[in-house]
Amino acid sequence: MPLQQSQAIILKSFKLSESDKIVVFFTRKLGKLRGVARGARLLKNPFGGGLEPFTYVNLIFFEKRPQELVHIDSCDIIRSYYNFQRDIATASLLAYLADLVDGFSQERDSNENIFRLLLAGLKGVESGVEPLIIARYFEIWLLKLNGLFPSLRSCSKCGRRFPRNARVIVHPGGGFLCPTCSRRLPQKGESLYPRAIRAISSILRRSLLDFKNGKELMEPEREIELLTTRLILSHLGKEIPSLVFFRQLFRQQ
């Protein structure tokens, strides 16, 4: 196959040998890919710092056979976010975002919207948006783009529209229920209150950078986290270790 070129964001990398790396990256054209970078672990390597996690690059690669690891030929750095990761809060946030995208994305499943979401998260870091807000914004949009975020307008059981400023019930299996349908549950579901619903609606309408001051989302942030964590766990079937660390880091402050 001929060389391919695409903008990409490096998600993570692993040691393959004394001199080589396996790199997981998300491309604008082809979605998530895994590739071998020969010589990437050498002190004087041909990639410089271009294969460090959360580097935004223009990547050139090729594959010998479909479904195998691609071979990374070269990369040019568009924007490096390495210095931002010296802060433990930012580093833990980015590790969590990388794990989310890796867990939700199938290889070679093109999705430019997720690529743009990754860029939005990086621009949020660069602009000083609160890490907790970036995490909640990213979670909601990733769930939305994968068709996993339920409607805020109507009950997922009976289809009735929710009254304005109403409290809704989070179904343990996903979805939002009206009070009538929630009473039929064998176990009581958690409530999502109007301020959290308004905050989520704002996230789905606005840019991440609009939330730079943090006030609008910080009050219901914990409530939103309980919701997104449940939906993510329901989809992946396991809790993400990097989320556990990220949560502990901020709840201890």
Q: What is the domain-level CATH number for residue 109?
A: 1.20.1440.120
Q: What is the pLDDT of residue 46?
A: 85
Q: What is the CATH number of the domain that holds 20?
A: 2.40.50.140
Same domain, residue pair 40 and 138:
no
Same domain, residue pair 36 and 117:
no
Structural domain total, the chain: 2
Asked if 128 and 212 touch (Cβ cutoff 8 Å), the reply is yes
CA-to-CA distance for 54 and 82, rounded, in angstroms?
7
Same domain, residue pair 160 and 247:
yes
Same domain, residue pair 63 and 99:
no
Same domain, residue pair 104 and 225:
yes
Mean pLDDT of the chain: 90
> 54, 80, 106: which is the final residue of a domain?
80
Same domain, residue pair 140 and 35:
no
Mean pLDDT, range 55-71, rounded to an integer: 88
Same domain, residue pair 21 and 125:
no
What is the percentage of the chain residues whose pLDDT exceeds 70?
Answer: 96
Same domain, residue pair 23 and 112:
no
pLDDT tens, 220-247? Answer: 999 999 899 989 998 898 888 899 899 8
> 80, 95, 121: which is the final residue of a domain?
80
pLDDT tens, 170-192? Answer: 886 678 998 888 888 777 777 88
pLDDT at 216 over 60: yes
Q: What is the pLDDT of residue 250?
A: 79
Same domain, residue pair 27 and 59:
yes
Same domain, residue pair 43 and 154:
no
Same domain, residue pair 142 and 238:
yes
pLDDT at 14 over 70: yes
Same domain, residue pair 93 and 199:
yes
> 80, 115, 139: which is the final residue of a domain?
80
Domain hosting 22: range is 1-80
CA-to-CA distance for 169 and 179, rounded, in angstroms?
7
